[in-house]
Amino acid sequence: MKHNLKFLLLIAISAFVVSSCNNNADDAPPVKEPGVSYIINYGSYSGDKTTITAYNKETGNVTNGFYENVNGVAMVSNVQHSASLNGKVFFAGNNPDQLFWVDGETFEQNENGITEDIIKPRFVAGQGNYLYISCWGGDIWTDENVSYIAKVNIADKKVEKKIALPGGPEGLAIANNKLYAALNYKDSVAVINLSSEEISYIETPAVTSYFVKDNNNNLYVSLISTFSDFSEETGLGFINTTNDELENVFKLDGVSTSYVNILSSNNDFSKIYVMTSAYDANWNLSGAIATFDVASKEFDSELFIKDISGMNGLSYYNDHVFCFIAESVTGNGKAQTYKTDGTLAEELNTGIAPYMLLTVK
């Protein structure tokens, strides 16, 4: 407990320092990354729910059960995705379905979440006073027409509009005042003009799942093969957001179909790390990370890491690749951090089923 309090104090001081730096941005060097980030642990759908692991990159300390430490109660949803916007951290949770939020500095939850018109939320992207949440809307695997985008007015704390979007929108990205939605049940990416809310589609050779955005606001999208929509054209697709065209497809076998963070880029966007899976020497299915070199537009011939049993997501933070591992959903997982040359740097204990890392902007 004493240790936790000290750590909380340290986080508060760090947050204060970070915010002080921001207030005097002209005088201080820019802070690219906050000192504390949060690992989201999905938990178990039928048991323990999402927990948060706070990670301080300066000290290397991890604090598991961070949300519960702050709020005195555990989260009640399985968080599918999380994003920070306007000083708050928003969580899209399943089972129960809700959008809820905590203060970005204190992590305190002081308000009840939104549940109306949030059905099977998948991903959160924000701009201005609005959050856009991809929602499956029901059993998408039986009816592809039930899905939609929930447009949430953050100030009013309600879903202002449901934008019907068939095809099971999953990952989202905002670029050039357009919302891009990767469709998990249709070989397309949907493009929604955020002013007119008109929808157009970019055809893809496979169903899509998540995006990373480059420094020019263009998008890389993961192309995957699923049980309901098999494809051999898996890999990464490059979308030019100026003309909304799929300009290139970079093939890669075994791109993960997991509903977790499977893509991440490094800070200067020279590399994109892609979670894949393959059978190991003993024919056990294991995870791996492939590296896409943005300059050469090729995947490295050697995997960045491989034979990771229970790989459950990846992120890039503190100049390291974070590999999240969950062999089961009944026991805690871990995060392994790798230097950019692929050597293991650190192993962090997390909660059950870690899958993404969140930095609070």
First CA to last CA distance, the chain: 28
Closest contact distance (angstroms) between CB of 192 and other proteins is 26
Provide CB contacts within 8 A for 226, sequence distance 6+: 184, 207, 257
Q: Does 285 bind other proteins (CB under 8 A)?
A: yes
Strands 285-293 and 263-265: unpaired
Closest contact distance (angstroms) between CB of 17 and other proteins is 29
Contact pick of 140, 311, 357, 360 for other proteins (by CB under 8 A): 311
Q: Does 121 bind other proteins (CB under 8 A)?
A: no
Q: Does 70 bind other proteins (CB under 8 A)?
A: no
Angle at Cα 102 formed by Cα 319 and Cα 155, nearest 5°? 115
Q: Does 184 bind other proteins (CB under 8 A)?
A: no
Q: Does 147 bind other proteins (CB under 8 A)?
A: no
Going by C-alpha positions, the residue among 256, 272, 252, 240 that lies closest to residue 340 is 272
Closest contact distance (angstroms) between CB of 82 and other proteins is 17
CB 63 within 8 A of CB 54: yes
Contact pick of 14, 15, 35, 49 for other proteins (by CB under 8 A): 49
Q: Does 137 bind other proteins (CB under 8 A)?
A: no
Quick note: the x/- pattern for other proteins over 214-253, rule CB under 8 A, is -------------x--------------------------
Measured CA to CA in angstroms, residue 183 lies from 165, 186, 232, 264 at distances of 9, 6, 17, 19
Q: Does 187 bind other proteins (CB under 8 A)?
A: no
Q: Does 128 bind other proteins (CB under 8 A)?
A: no
Token pair of 94 as six digits: 């399943």
Q: Does 327 bind other proteins (CB under 8 A)?
A: yes
Q: Does 20 bind other proteins (CB under 8 A)?
A: no
Q: Does 254 bind other proteins (CB under 8 A)?
A: yes
Between the CA atoms of 194, 247, 172 and 145, what dihedral angle is there, to the nearest 10 degrees?
A: 80
Closest contact distance (angstroms) between CB of 311 and other proteins is 4
Distance of alpha carbon 314 from alpha carbon 336, whole angstroms: 9
In the chain, the amino acid numbered 43 is G
Q: Does 308 bind other proteins (CB under 8 A)?
A: yes
Closest contact distance (angstroms) between CB of 180 and other proteins is 23
Token pair of 221 as six digits: 């999208």
Please say whether the dihedral angle defined by the alpha carbons of residues 238, 241, 245 and 247, taken in this order, is positive or negative.
negative
Which residues form the interface with other proteins (CB under 8 A)?
A: 44, 46-49, 71-73, 76-77, 95-98, 109-113, 115, 139, 142, 227, 254, 256-258, 275-277, 283-288, 308-312, 326-332, 334, 352
